[in-house]
């Protein structure tokens, strides 16, 4: 991860922060301190892209906030306003050691809304929040098409044209707002304001796309409008290693155990290893599931990647320090170091072994879970 593993080590926590990390022989545990023991301690796991807290456990309309289908382009929608910190799935993923998630609106609309970053603790979104508006989520490919219903695109070429037109509108809106006298400025438009943040580089566009032709279309859009993008999903990434590497854009790779169907027919269990070998910045994600229990556990995805060519250290990094860096939160989470948030996952064996259990979770210095899971 961010350093060499420590055998027989100690992580000393004071308040919400890590105070010290080192060998037991040289790290003094204060008298009276609560002591948690485990065979393996890792940084709290980070899910690079999820819909946890928006796609609820019950799989009923009243707890499904992950996708609004009334219009194809709605960047003004905020995950912040739909997040349910008390949904059982938040507790469920945390019980496996996941302490931070980048969550938001699911793939399925051309532009579905703004994502956010939260800890998997707290009774409200305010208590959990790390970043209220991290990226703007978009979908380019068959999953974002609706056969022309509700003005949604029916083909990818139509989707690209609509996205380009909306970005041009956002650029024109920003120019008018900046140059026009206060009395003559156009009225505020939340949709165009949100896209404006992508155009001026404040926020990346999280582009979910899988097929090689759609990935290339995403790269063309990014070049035309000078956008920062994160390539999300990208089942065909292993077919376009040179093009993606040349772009310099990071990848949030699809869950390793994704189903090979339709736009993901070319996916491979070995893609994570190939990305690492090619020198890509990437992280693993749990993604979106349409079926119960509505979420995956990113720990399992990393374990399968580790069984298909990705070494243990890199697999663990793909769900700890690597997503922390790509999400811009590495100064707080992702590794065990003094001054960082005291987010820890404790295991009774190799975290990637099926027979191992998560025996403890600490978030912000508070023990949230202590029963084996």
Return the pLDDT at 129: 98
Output the DSSP codes for 288-353: --SSTT----HHHHHHHHHTTT--HHHHHHTTTHHHHHHTT-TTTSSS--TTSB--EEEESS-TTS
Rounded Cα distance, 104 and 234, in Å: 18
CA atoms within a 13 Å half-sphere pointing along the CA-CB vector of 166: 23
Is pTM, for the whole model, over 0.75?
yes
Residue 239's CB is within 10 A of a number of other CB atoms, namely 17
The structural domains of the chain, with segments of one domain joined by +, span 43-335
Residue 258's pLDDT is what?
Answer: 78
pLDDT of residue 370: 80
Helix (H) or strand (E) holding 276: helix 271-277
Q: What pLDDT does residue 147 have?
A: 57
Predicted confidence pLDDT, tens digits, the chain (373 residues): 567 899 999 999 999 999 999 999 999 999 999 999 999 999 999 999 999 999 877 778 788 888 888 899 999 999 999 999 999 999 999 999 999 999 998 888 999 999 999 999 999 999 999 999 999 999 999 877 775 566 778 899 999 999 999 999 999 999 988 877 777 788 899 999 999 999 999 999 999 999 999 999 999 999 999 999 999 999 999 999 999 999 999 999 998 887 788 888 998 999 999 999 999 899 999 987 766 567 889 999 999 999 999 999 999 999 999 999 999 999 999 999 999 999 999 999 999 999 999 999 999 999 997 877 6
DSSP structure string for 105-164: PPSSSSEEEE-EEEES-SSSHHHHEEES---EEEE-SGGG--TTGGG--SSHHHHHHHHH
Do residues 365 and 13 touch, judged by C-beta distance below 8 A?
A: yes
Q: 43-335, which class in CATH?
A: alpha beta
**What pLDDT, on the 0 to 100 scale, is given for residue 6?**
94
Distance of CA 4 to the CA centre of its chain: 25
From the list 129, 126, 123, the residue with the least C-alpha distance to 101 is 129
Name 254's Cβ contacts closer than 8 Å, sequence gap at least 6: 210, 233, 234, 235, 264, 267, 271, 285, 287
Q: Which token pair is 272?
A: 């994570």
Return d(Cα 177, Cα 185) in angstroms, integer.
Answer: 5
């Amino acid at each position: 991860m961010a350093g060499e593993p420590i055998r027989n080590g100690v992580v000393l926590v004071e308040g919400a922060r890590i105070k010290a990390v080192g060998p037991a022989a040289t790290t003094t545990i204060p008298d009276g301190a609560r002591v948690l023991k485990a065979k393996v301690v890792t940084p709290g796991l980070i899910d690079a892209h999820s819909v946890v807290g928006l796609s609820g456990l019950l799989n009923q309309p009243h707890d499904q906030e992950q996708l609004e289908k009334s219009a194809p382009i709605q960047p003004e929608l905020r995950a912040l306003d739909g997040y349910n910190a008390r949904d059982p799935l938040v507790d469920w993923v945390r019980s496996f050691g996941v302490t931070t998630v980048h969550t938001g609106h699911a793939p399925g609309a051309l532009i579905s809304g703004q994502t956010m970053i939260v800890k998997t603790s707290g009774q409200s979104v305010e208590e959990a929040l790390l970043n209220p508006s991290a990226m703007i989520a978009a979908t380019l490919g068959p999953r974002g098409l609706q056969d022309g219903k509700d003005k949604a695109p029916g083909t990818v070429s139509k989707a690209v044209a609509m996205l380009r037109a909306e970005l041009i509108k956002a650029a024109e809106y920003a120019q008018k707002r900046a140059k026009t006298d206060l009395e003559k400025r156009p009225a505020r438009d939340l949709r165009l304001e949100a896209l404006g943040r992508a155009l001026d580089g404040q926020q990346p566009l999280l582009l979910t796309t899988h097929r090689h032709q759609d990935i290339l279309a995403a790269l063309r859009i990014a070049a035309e409008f000078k956008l920062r993008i994160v390539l999300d999903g990208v089942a065909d990434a292993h077919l376009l290693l040179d093009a993606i590497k040349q772009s310099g854009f990071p990848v949030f790779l699809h869950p390793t155990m994704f189903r090979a169907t339709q736009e993901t027919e070319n996916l491979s269990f070995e893609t994570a290893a190939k990305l690492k070998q090619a020198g890509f910045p990437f992280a693993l994600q749990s993604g979106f599931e349409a079926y119960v229990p509505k979420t995956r556990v990113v720990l399992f995805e990393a374990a399968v990647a580790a069984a298909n060519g990705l070494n243990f250290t890199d697999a663990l990094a793909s769900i700890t320090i690597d997503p922390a860096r790509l999400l811009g939160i590495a100064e707080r989470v992702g590794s065990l170091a003094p001054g960082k948030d005291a987010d820890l996952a404790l295991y009774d064996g190799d975290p990637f072994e099926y027979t191992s259990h998560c025996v403890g979770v600490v978030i912000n210095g508070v023990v949230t879970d202590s029963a084996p899971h």
